[in-house]
Amino acid sequence: MPDEHRLEEEFLSQEAERRISEKLDGAEKIEIDIQTDLLKIVQGQADGVSVAGQGLVIEKDVRVQEIKLQTESININPLSALFGQIELNEPVDAVARIILTEVDMNRTLASDFVRSKLQDVDLDVDGKIVSFEAQKIEIFLPGDGKIECRGKVLLKEKGNTRVFGYTAIARPRTHSQPAMLESFNCTEGGGISIEVATALMHKAKELMNIPYFKWEDMVFHIKDIKVETGSLVLLVETQVRQIPSSEILSP
Strands 74-75 and 218-228: unpaired
Cβ atoms of 109 and 137 within 8 Å: the answer is yes
pLDDT in tens, 135-175: 888 999 998 899 999 999 888 887 788 888 999 998 888 77
pLDDT band for 92, please (50, 70, 90 cuts): confident
Query: What are the Cα distances from residue 148, in Å, to 21, 23, 41?
Result: 33, 33, 49
Report the percent of the chain where pLDDT is more than 70.
83
CB-count exposure of residue 121 (10 Å: 0-12, 13-18, 19+): middle
Is 11 strand, coil or helix? helix
For residue 244, give every residue at least 6 positions away whose Cβ sits within 8 Å of its Cβ, in sequence order, or none. Answer: 19, 20, 23, 216
pTM value is: 0.76
Residue type, 49: V
* Residue 82: φ, ψ to 5°: -65, -25
For residue 10, give every residue at least 6 positions away whose Cβ sits within 8 Å of its Cβ, in sequence order, or none. Answer: none
Is 179 strand, coil or helix? coil
| pLDDT for 247 | 32
Q: Hey, which of 18-27, 150-159, 239-248 has the most confident mean pLDDT?
A: 150-159
- Which of 35-39, 99-103, 126-130, 144-148 is predicted with the least confidence, judged by mean pLDDT? 35-39
